[in-house]
Each structure stands twice: as C-alpha cells, then as structure tokens.
Structure 1
C-alpha cells in the first residue's frame, strides 16, 4: 500500500513536471536562418532546401558526404 512518502513524492514530481512545462512554454522560439551559400563549396543552397531544413549550412552534396563520413566512422 502507498504511504505518505509515496504521496509526497508523487506531488513533488507533479510540481516539477508542471514547472518544467511552464518554463518550456515560455521560452521564445529561436528563429534559425539557413545559409545562402554552402560553407564548404560556396555553391548557392536552393531555397526549397533552406525552407525544408532551417539552419542548414551545407548544400545537399556536401551534407550527404558529411553524413556518409559520420556513418562510416561512427562504427
């Protein structure tokens, strides 16, 4: 059976969850802008990619190469 300590722990956890939810809701959403040109090869990044992937810094080709390298060395 649950005792007073269990009820107290549940209440504390509920208050923590509420405080974290309120904090996350009040955070302003940072707007991340994409680069207009690839930081690696200096080729213009197409607008559809910049819209689909906010904050992108590389063109599709350079990003694909980076992803491939990371996947290869992650093993």
Structure 2
C-alpha cells in the first residue's frame, strides 16, 4: 500500500536499505587476525574460549562491554521525514 506520492513497495525498499546499511556498519566493525592473549585495555588475560570464539579479539569481556556501552547507537537516517512534516 503506497501513500501520497510514493510507489507501491517504496516503504519496504526504505526498510531494506536501512537494514543493509546497518549490516554494513556491523561488518566494518568486525576484527580479524590473531587474538590477543591479554586485554589491550586492562591487561588481564583473555580466556581461551573467547579467543577461539571471536577471531581477532583484543579486549576482555568487561572492557568490550564498557566500550559497547559508550558507543552511541545510531538508528540511521529517517528517510521519510518526521511524522509532523507529513501532516502539514
């Protein structure tokens, strides 16, 4: 169902594009290569199971959790504009 000036399927195309951008951002953040034996941040040992599970890991679980908590999650850009602008 299209509304206004958009064609059928336009909303789904926007959703698909936003999802693809999110996947690409996640792929760019992946680390590869040899895993560190000690955390690059705090110096504590990184467990063998973590090093095997995540190739290229450089941080222990605690430091990685802190890093991810500090990152600002971006929802991406609102391709349709705000709801208020559509009502005018």
Report the TM-score, using the length of structure 1 for normalisation: 0.53
Q: Deviations over 1:3-43 (max 9, x none)?
A: xxxxxxxxxxxxxxxxxxxxxxxxxxxx7110000000000
Q: CA RMSD in A?
A: 1.5
Give, in whole Å, the separation in 2 of the partners of 1:56 and 1:44: 12
2:39 aligned partner: 38
2:73 aligned with 1:74: yes
Provide the residue aligned with 2:61 in structure 1. Answer: 60
Q: CA deviation at 1:74?
A: 3.3
Q: Give the length in aligned residue pairs.
A: 43
Secondary structure of 1:50's partner?
helix
Counterpart-to-counterpart distance in 2, 1:62 and 1:51: 18
In structure 2, list runs of 5 or more residues that go unmatched. 1-31, 75-88
Unaligned ranges ≥5, structure 1: 1-30
Mark the structure with the bigger radius of gyration.
1
| Greater percentage in helix | 1
Displaced runs of 4 or more, over 3 A: none
TM-score by length of structure 2 reads 0.46
